[in-house]
Amino acid sequence: MPFIIDVQTCFPENYYTQDEITEFIISAWDGRYSDFSTIRNIHRNTRVGKRHLALPMEHYSSLESFDEKNRIFIEKSTELACGAINNLFACNSIGPGDISSLWSNTVTGFAIPSLDARVMNIIDFRYDTKRIPLLGLGCMAGAAGINRAADYLTAYPDEAVIFFSVELCSLTFQIDNVSIENIISTGLFGDGAAAVLMAGDSHPLACTAPLEWIGSSSAFFRNSETMMGWDVGEKGLKIILNRDVPAMTETMLPKPLYDFLESHDRNINDISEYFAHPGGPRVLRAIEKVLDLAEGELINSWQSLNENGNMSSVSILDIFKRYIDCSTTVKQGQAALSLAMGPAFSAEIGLFKWC
Indicate which residues carry an active-site annotation. 139
Selection from 259, 233, 238, 239 nearest residue 347 by Cα: 259
How far apart CA 278 and CA 304 sit, in angstroms, is 8
DSSP tag of 241: E
Query: Is 108 within 8 Å of 167 (Cβ atoms)?
Result: yes
Classify strands 211-220 and 191-199 as parallel, antiparallel or unpaired: unpaired
From CA 26, how far away is CA 277, in angstroms rounded? Answer: 28
228: β partners: 241
Q: How far apart are CA 258 and CA 295, in angstroms?
A: 20
Q: How many CB atoms lie within 10 A of CB 235?
A: 18
Q: How far apart are CA 21 and CA 206, in angstroms?
A: 43
Contact criterion met (CB below 8 Å) for 184 and 217? no
DSSP 3-state assignment of 128?
A: coil
Whether omega for the bond prior to residue 345 falls within 30 degrees of 0, making it cis, is yes
C-alpha torsion sign, points 28, 30, 32, 34: positive
Q: For residue 152, which of 212, 103, 104, 225 has the smallest C-alpha distance? A: 103
The torsion angles phi and psi of 49, rounded to 5 degrees, stand at -100, -40
CA–CA separation, 121 and 162 (whole Å): 16
Q: How would you label 7-26 residue by residue, b for 16+ Cβ within 10 Å and e otherwise? A: bbbbbbeeebebeebbbbbe
